[in-house]
Amino acid sequence: MKLIILAVILPLLILPVAVFGESDSLNVSFENNAASQYTLELPSNEKIILEQSYSWIRDQNSRYNLVSYSIDGSESIPINRQARGTFSFDVPTNSKFITFSSVVQYPVSITGVKDYSFLPKSPTNDNWFDEKSEILISQITFENSGIIPNVITKVEGQIIENSGNSVQILVDNPIHLIIHWESDYSIFAILLLFPIIGIVIFFIRQKKGSNSPKTVPKPEKTVPKTNSNDYENEIKEFLKQKSIEKIDSLITSKTITPEKGIRIKDSL
């Protein structure tokens, strides 16, 4: 025969104890005063099942989450952690006290992006993390992800570092991040230059061909060399002008912001 005892649920609920003759006491406590300790009077030589909630409220901003337990001061037994539900185990006959260990957890929430990943993942497989955990938020995807890449421009909230399209945080309280981003057209503008470069090279070669002498020069005279720097400068100036015109058209059509256009121009 087994007697089931429900230890802590929201946060503590003790079932009535049925006494059959002699009884023993079982003391249940929690490290760091995570919950109130209590004593159960149990029938002698009876095996019991003790049940404990995986999580219970600490305050309006945090919760406790069960991590392990020990019996009569023995080595702690780890628990397969979960966010919700009830953990149950058989208490050996004639056990005197059970000690539960738990950790404080805080929630982490993010808005402004479509999807993201936590590294490491939450130990309870939700958006709650143990106190003092350092978490990297990466693999961020944006609402209009496509050919044009997107970059994070600003992160509102408590962070350690924002590097590229990843954010590092320290979980020491509830954290809510608002991620701001914009499309990066600089690579797109550079890609537009390739067909222009081909056209420019083609016309320069055509020009050089049309300007070549029709007759073979006399041996005693030297043929003046063409200054290649002049052609390179012409190409650079032409490409720069075409790029500026394209950027201006993107600004006019409101495809990019004026500030973004100025940054792209400065990089040319």
Domain endpoint, select from 77, 104, 131: 104
- Same domain, yes or no, for 12 and 100? yes
pTM: 0.65
Residue 51: give its domain's CATH number: 3.10.20
Domain endpoint, select from 75, 104, 133: 104
55 CB-near residues (< 8 Å, 6+ apart) = 63, 64, 65, 66, 82, 83, 84, 105, 124
Which residues are paired to 111 by β-bridges?
A: 178
Tokens linked to 118: 């936590």
- Same domain, yes or no, for 38 and 82? yes
pLDDT in tens, 98-133: 999 999 999 999 999 999 999 999 999 999 999 999
Number of domains, the chain: 3
Q: Does a structural domain hold residue 224? A: no
Domain endpoint, select from 104, 126, 153: 104
pLDDT in tens, 156-209: 999 999 888 899 999 999 999 999 988 877 665 665 565 666 676 766 776 666
pLDDT in tens, 240-265: 787 777 778 777 766 677 777 777 77
For the chain, the average pLDDT equals 80
Q: Does a structural domain hold residue 133? A: yes
Domain that holds residue 141: 106-183
69 CB-near residues (< 8 Å, 6+ apart) = 52, 76, 77, 79, 89, 98, 99, 100, 101
User: Distance (Å, rounded) from C-alpha 24 to C-alpha 5?
Assistant: 14
- Same domain, yes or no, for 136 and 79? no
- Same domain, yes or no, for 76 and 153? no
